[in-house]
């Protein structure tokens, strides 16, 4: 009979606590970060009188600005022979380097700025008749990569947007979009997690107050993934995300915190 009596007591206590909880509490839980599943966790855990605890998800979102840019450009030249292709390529490279220098790239100012020019490669491409196999034409292609890194993200962004000017000079280029990153992310994470934990406590206090209880010490903390997205994005990944397409970004930290409940 004792186990049955224990279950009956827990059930009665749970019903009484639900009856004492105003509709506002349930609305706040449903609107909490993490959606309906997170809200259900808060309510169910909060009603488990054996543990006397409540689980709340806190979040913190801030806007950050990238402080490092990486940009890759491929220069390609065609020629009738290997030597012809290479000679034309040298002229194209001169035009590209002149263009970069004119835009302030290539003049190394500090250790956070660099430009690496990879080796040039030449390959032969033959075009044959698909039926007879007779050689129709031979084309030699020389290509070379230039990789640029700079903490002047605005300069890289502007130069990338102007790089199509090289096409007007007869230069064939394949330009990748710059990748913008934030190098102080480790320091930022500590601050963001602290704010997310504070947000979780405020939410827990609001729910407990409406139920006639108070929040005690933290019992357990689970750190969620970080979402680094374009500004005002609603994209969320279970593995976290790190957008590198824009200079300005939003960073969101999530913390699941279990608080003790005191009556």
pLDDT tens per residue across span 187-226: 899 999 999 999 999 999 999 998 888 998 999 999 888 9
Domain count, the chain: 2
Contact yes or no for 173/76 (Cβ under 8 A)? yes
Do 174 and 191 fall into the same domain? Answer: no
Phi and psi dihedrals of 141, rounded to 5? -120, 125
Own/partner pairs for 138-141, CB < 8 Å, 24+ apart? 138/80, 139/78, 139/79, 139/80, 140/78, 140/79, 140/80, 140/81, 140/82, 140/84, 140/85, 141/76, 141/77, 141/78, 141/79, 141/85
Do 171 and 91 fall into the same domain? Answer: yes
Q: Is the pLDDT of residue 29 over 80?
A: no
Question: Whole-angstrom Cα distance, residue 113 to residue 98?
Answer: 18
Q: CATH no. for residue 125?
A: 3.30.70.360
For the beta carbon of residue 200, count every other beta carbon within 10 angstroms. 26
Q: What is the pLDDT, as a whole number, of residue 110?
A: 62
Q: What is the pLDDT, as a whole number, of residue 51?
A: 64
Do 151 and 97 fall into the same domain? Answer: yes
Structure tokens at 229: 């997205």
The predicted-structure confidence for 92-151, as pLDDT tens digits, reads as follows 999 999 999 999 987 666 667 889 999 999 999 888 888 888 888 889 999 999 999 999
Q: Is the pLDDT of residue 14 over 60?
A: no
Structure tokens at 118: 């990879």
Do 165 and 204 fall into the same domain? Answer: no
Do 75 and 170 fall into the same domain? Answer: yes
Do 31 and 102 fall into the same domain? Answer: no
Do 201 and 127 fall into the same domain? Answer: no
Task: Please list, residue by residue across 7-42, b when 16 or more beta carbons sit within 10 angstroms of its beta carbon and e when fewer do.
Answer: eeeeeeeeeebeeebeeebbebbeebbbeeebbebb
The verdict on residue 193 lying in a domain is yes
- Beta bridge partners, 53, equal 260
* Structural domain containing residue 35: 2-58+184-223+256-262
- For Cα atoms 246, 252, 257, give the angle at the middle one, nearest 5 degrees: 170
The predicted-structure confidence for 81-93, as pLDDT tens digits, reads as follows 999 999 999 999 9
Q: Is the pLDDT of residue 69 over 80?
A: yes
Do 155 and 175 fall into the same domain? Answer: yes
Do 109 and 141 fall into the same domain? Answer: yes
- Beta bridge partners, 145, equal 74
The mean per-residue pLDDT over the stretch 223-250 comes to 89
Q: Is the pLDDT of residue 78 over 70?
A: yes
């Amino acid at each position: 009979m004792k186990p049955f009596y224990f279950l009956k007591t827990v059930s009665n206590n749970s019903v009484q606590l639900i009856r004492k909880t105003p509709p506002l509490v349930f609305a706040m839980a449903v609107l909490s970060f993490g959606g309906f599943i997170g809200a259900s966790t808060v309510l169910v855990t909060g009603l488990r009188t054996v543990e006397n605890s409540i689980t709340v998800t806190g979040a913190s979102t801030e806007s950050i600005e990238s402080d490092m840019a990486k940009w890759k450009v491929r220069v390609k030249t065609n020629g009738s022979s290997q030597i012809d292709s290479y000679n034309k390529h040298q002229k194209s490279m001169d035009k590209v380097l002149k263009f970069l220098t004119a835009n302030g790239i290539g003049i190394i100012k500090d250790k956070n700025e660099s430009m690496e020019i990879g080796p040039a490669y030449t390959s032969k491409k033959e075009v044959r008749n698909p039926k007879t196999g007779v050689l129709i034409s031979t084309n030699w292609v020389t290509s070379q990569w230039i990789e640029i890194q700079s903490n002047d993200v605005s300069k890289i962004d502007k130069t990338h947007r102007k790089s199509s000017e090289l096409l007007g000079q007869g230069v064939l280029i394949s330009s990748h979009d710059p990748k913008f990153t934030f190098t102080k992310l480790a320091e930022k994470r500590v601050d963001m997690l602290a704010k997310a934990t504070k947000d979780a406590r405020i939410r827990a206090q609001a729910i407990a107050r409406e139920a006639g209880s108070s929040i005690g010490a933290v019992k357990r903390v689970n750190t969620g993934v970080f979402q680094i997205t374009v500004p005002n994005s609603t994209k969320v990944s279970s593995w976290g995300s790190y957008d590198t397409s824009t200079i300005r970004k939003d960073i969101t930290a999530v913390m699941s915190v279990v608080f003790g409940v005191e009556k």
